[in-house]
Amino acid sequence: MTFQSAIYAGHVLHVRSRPKKHSLRYSVFSLLIDLDEIDELNNGLRLFGYNRAALYSVHDVDHGNGRAGELRSWLEERLAAAGLEDAGWKIRMLCYPRILGYVFNPITVFFCYRAEGGLAAVLYEVCNTFNERHTYVIPVEAEANGILRHSCAKEMYVSPFMPMNCEYNFRISPPDDDVAINIGESDPDGPLLFATFSGRRRPLSDRGLLHMLLKYPLMTLKVMGGIHWEALRLWWKGVPIYRHEPAAARIASTIVVQNGMNKS
């Protein structure tokens, strides 16, 4: 059987333009999980588990409203709140998996397709190291040569080295043979940061997961370690620090409507 679910192996790149130039590049991989296939993956793969312990796993508590068994319904509620209805949503989640029980996902992207196959919305779920999570729900109006472009106001504190009065600009190549998630962050004075994940599709199988273990050992621990290492480098360079502004709710979402205004 051919799965829509897959492994995307590639790299993350960050480039900061001011007030000090700074860049990083790390080799990583993400899983694309089709929610219609997740039980079959759970039952059929030895190295992958859904809401259970495994070498690689995906848990509902790490996404959406954080309650087991409610991820799909929570996503469908967000789509309905955005005025999108469909009898058979096909939802695919691009994320880091837990590895030996540990994960930190700076961003998870949900691609929401109608039953007939058209991409109707993208949900960008952003997490910070303060255990806060904010999801930006953005309907898809049109694709230009397969590229999606979205913008929205930043609603949640993420980094101590980035101000809150910023805008996100997304440029997305949805999953196919390749995937690319490009995010530009700007303040009123212009671009501050460009971040991207690009990956090449591989089959999601026990053999593929074992290969990822050998090529990217303990990757999720390296993600968190890299965050703190890069923070130390930025502090050493004298980049200003912005204190954490607690979110009004630990888990929240924003619907980005067509006139550019946001509503929670």
- In this predicted structure, the answer to whether residue 18 has a pLDDT above a threshold of 50 is yes
- In this predicted structure, the answer to whether residue 113 has a pLDDT above a threshold of 50 is yes
Q: Let me know: does 35 contact 71? Beta carbons within 8 Å.
A: yes
Residue 151 phi/psi, 5° resolution?
-135, 150
Q: How much of the chain exceeds pLDDT 90, in percent? A: 81
Is residue 12 assigned to a domain?
Answer: yes
Q: How much of the chain exceeds pLDDT 70, in percent? A: 95
- In this predicted structure, the answer to whether residue 145 has a pLDDT above a threshold of 70 is no
CA 38, CA 32: separation in Å to the nearest integer? 10
Is residue 136 assigned to a domain?
Answer: yes
Is residue 43 assigned to a domain?
Answer: yes
- In this predicted structure, the answer to whether residue 72 has a pLDDT above a threshold of 70 is yes
160-215 pLDDT per residue, tens = 999 999 999 999 999 999 999 999 999 999 999 999 999 999 999 999 999 999 99
Is residue 56 assigned to a domain?
Answer: yes
Is residue 144 assigned to a domain?
Answer: yes
Number of structural domains in the chain: 1
Q: Tell me the residue range of the domain where 245 lies.
A: 6-263
CA 149, CA 172: separation in Å to the nearest integer? 6
Is residue 1 assigned to a domain?
Answer: no
226-264 pLDDT per residue, tens = 888 888 898 899 999 999 999 999 999 999 975 544 555
The predicted model scores a pTM of 0.94
Question: What pLDDT was estimated at residue 260?
Answer: 47
Type of residue found at 43: N
